[in-house]
Structure 1
Amino acid sequence: MALVAAFVVAPGTLAARGADGGLADSHRLTEAVRQALVGYWSSGDREFTPGLERVVDYWFRYHVAKAVIAAILLIVLVALGVLLWKAFLKAGGLGAGRRVALASAGVLVTMLALLSLVTVMANVQGAVAPLSSLLPLLAVGTTDGELADTLDHVRQRLADSLGTGGQTPPALEVMISDFARYHVAMAVVGSIVAVVLIGMSVVSWMRFARTELSDRRTRRVWGSFGALSALLSLVVIVVAVANTTTAADPAPALLAFFEGGW
């Protein structure tokens, strides 16, 4: 419970330092991102403007803090899940109500562990490519004035570079490169997680096969973990492949993103 509370409350405070303290407020962060992107696009340079560098650095630290807390939470939940399932397997002499309580707690903790794993993956991706992970904030609130003009210019230059092979502005090259890195990060992380899940599935099915037929409770537990791990590995593989495809040709996906695929 303490780690869940820390995950929600602490990252903004941990990421903020000095003049960045105001960015912990979501409204101020959104406004800062919108103003920074307008200034960066207007500069015409590859190098980030001070305003954009400030929010990108803050967002990097924010995701690192979230990833670390989520990883610690994942470790705690895995340890707790192991204890609960071991207790369930040894609960033969306990009442039916106690066994149901242990099984229910084990399922709940397992689901929370999977949620924590997804959170770790997403925040690692955000830390690797903080600029791209900031882009959805551009759609928060009313998009008008200078921001609307800037987004129109970005869309037009992206469309031109894809359609006619026109010259790509330096700022847009940086955005495309970061967008590619954003998807490469998830492809790599997803591949690692898929390998781990496949390994877990193999081990679970081996334990299932070695368990005596008379021990139905243990066989059900190992069989369930084997099936769940295999299914999740397939889902993660699909995610990894999709991100790999996008990373190989990021410009069309980035254009779709700016055209409303927030």
Structure 2
Amino acid sequence: MSSNAVVPPPRARVLVPLAAFLVPAVWFGPHLLAADGSQGGFADQGTLVGAVKEGFVRYWAAGSGDYSAEMGGVVDYWFRFHVAKAVLASVLLVVLVALGVVVWRAFLRSEGVRRGGLAVAGAGVTGLGLLSLVVAAANVQGAVAPFTSVLTMLPTGARGGELAGTLDQVRGELAAHPDSAPPALAAMISDNARYHVTMAVIAGVVAAGLVVASVVLWRRFAGTADRRTRRVLGAFGGLGAVLAVMVLVVGAANVTVAADSARGLTDFFGA
């Protein structure tokens, strides 16, 4: 076999199958892990949305701010779903970071066809790792405030029926009592604020991590003479800086919504 053949580094032979298992697990696993037998039907998206609509109508009709039985079942299921998905995505992220380090180090030592193959593989692993980070962050947010996450599945443009009438009542309360909301609406406003504060905190932590990583990479860039190594370090250092700015923008947007949660709900419901 030619020395230029695209042969994966030895450690990658363990990490690649693990990543290949975790990618579909992140997609299919959470519904399976969240189901407790009685709620296995929620794995069907149509059934889940139907349960959300019914649960919300009952929740609003009760008016106490406590979950109705229907809404409580959906929120509990959605909490377990988010926890499972956050854990799986985080494990996948760790595996992809380790795999990325292996692949890019191999790229720096390779030549010819092998070098090109490793560059493509490294770019793919990097992109998938960033996607895993986004999925993990979004599901931590959903696990902290599952009620608001559930509400995002409501078809707020519904016309006719109980749901449409309930949505009209919510819009009316948001317009009339944004600062002295009744219990059901107050609970929604509070949970919506928690939902966005959570993402703001996550964004701050991620941005700090990206800044630290970028600084470390740029220092190594400055202390390295090899041109190929400098290109890789410079590319990742620059990517880290750009991503840190983007994440901070996301965090700032979530702080703005959390500061006026009632307004955020007004925009969501189209009041």
Scaled by the length of structure 1, the TM-score of the pair is: 0.93
The residue type paired with residue 101 of structure 1 is: G
> Alpha-carbon deviations, 1:205-258, whole Å to 9, x = none?
00000001xx11000000001100000000000111111111111111110000
User: Which residue, 249, 254, 260 being the options, matches 2:265?
Assistant: 254
Structure 1 residues 58 and 84: alpha-carbon distance in aligned structure 2, compared to 1, 3 A threshold: same
User: Which residue, 186, 189, 208 being the options, matches 1:195?
Assistant: 208
Q: Distance in 2 between matches of 1:50 and 1:207?
A: 57
User: Which residue, 117, 127, 131 being the options, matches 2:147?
Assistant: 131
- Aligned counterpart, 1:233: 244
For 1:209-224, what aligned pairs fall within 5 Å after superposition?
Answer: 209-212=222-225, 215-224=226-235
The residue type paired with residue 133 of structure 2 is: L
Percent pairwise identity: 55
Structure 1 residues 142 and 168: alpha-carbon distance in aligned structure 2, compared to 1, 3 A threshold: closer
- How far does residue 161 in structure 1 lie from its aligned partner after superposition? 1.7
- Gaps (5+ residues) in structure 2? 1-19
Q: Distance in 2 between matches of 1:222 and 1:192?
A: 22
- How far does residue 139 in structure 1 lie from its aligned partner after superposition? 1.3
- How far does residue 89 in structure 1 lie from its aligned partner after superposition? 1.0
- Gaps (5+ residues) in structure 1? none
> Alpha-carbon deviations, 1:115-147, whole Å to 9, x = none?
100000111111111111111221189543000
Q: Distance in 2 between matches of 1:98 and 1:19?
A: 51
Greater share of helix = 1
The residue type paired with residue 234 of structure 2 is: G
> Alpha-carbon deviations, 1:29-82, whole Å to 9, x = none?
111110000001000112111111110000000011111110111011111100
- How far does residue 18 in structure 1 lie from its aligned partner after superposition? 3.1
Does the CA contact (< 8 Å) of 1:33 and 1:138 recur in 2?
yes
Q: Distance in 1 between matches of 2:223 and 2:184?
A: 59
Q: Distance in 2 between matches of 1:174 and 1:16?
A: 26
- Aligned counterpart, 1:157: 173
Tell me the secondary structure at the aligned position of residue 67 of structure 2: coil
Q: Distance in 2 between matches of 1:130 and 1:62?
A: 9
- Aligned counterpart, 1:99: 115
Does the CA contact (< 8 Å) of 2:86 and 2:140 recur in 1?
yes
Does the CA contact (< 8 Å) of 2:156 and 2:167 recur in 1?
no
Q: Distance in 1 between matches of 2:170 and 2:40?
A: 30
Tell me the secondary structure at the aligned position of residue 139 of structure 1: coil
The residue type paired with residue 117 of structure 2 is: A
Root-mean-square deviation over aligned CA pairs = 1.4
Does the CA contact (< 8 Å) of 1:30 and 1:140 recur in 2?
no
Tell me the secondary structure at the aligned position of residue 39 of structure 2: helix
